[in-house]
Amino acid sequence: MICSICSDKAEGYHFGAISCAACGAFFRRSVSDQKVYSCSSRQCNIAHDPKKRGGSCRFCRFEKCVTSGMMPQDVKAKRAPSSLQNLTSLYRNMSQSSVLLIDQLIIFRRSITAERNSFDSVGGSNRLHENPDKAHLDLI
């Protein structure tokens, strides 16, 4: 198979066209980075030249990719680095855990307030223990 863009050896279908890996990567980078190229002649030769790394005119190369059948909509959005994805996932999990913990604390505080109000209504005391070693008993 021959690359329909640069005539080098093709490795398969890339974004809808038979192409080499280099032209597929060029097209993917051009689309995902939203590159805008320019060319004065718009008729440049896009033949593969091993001496010229990167080949020829980028504008004409991109146009040839599109006319050869490569579809920009087939290029997936860039992914965040895995370390950033892991951090984002960790933050989401922590946020969800924090919300659950806060909800549990609110419920616990309401039940303590209800118990204390019930205790006060039957003649109990609302003041703190004078003995600091037993102060924790006021929380029950």
In CATH, the architecture of 12-74 is 2-Layer Sandwich (3.30)
Residue extents of the structural domains in the chain: 12-74, 82-139
Assess whether pLDDT exceeds 60 at residue 2: yes
* Percent of the chain clearing pLDDT 70 (strictly above): 66
Higher-pLDDT residue of 46 and 86 is 46
Assess whether pLDDT exceeds 80 at residue 63: yes
Q: Specify the pLDDT at position 17.
A: 94
Tell me the pLDDT of the chain averaged across its residues: 79
CA–CA dist 22, 57 (Å, integer): 14
Q: Please tell me the pTM assigned to this model.
A: 0.54
Dihedral angle sign, alpha carbons of residues 10, 16, 17, 19: negative
**pLDDT tens digit sequence for 84-136:** 667 667 677 766 666 677 777 788 888 888 887 776 666 555 555 555 566 55
Which distant-in-sequence residues (6+ apart) come within 8 Å of 28 by Cβ? 14, 15, 75
Helix (H) or strand (E) holding 14: strand 12-14
CB-based contact 76:31 (threshold 8 Å): no
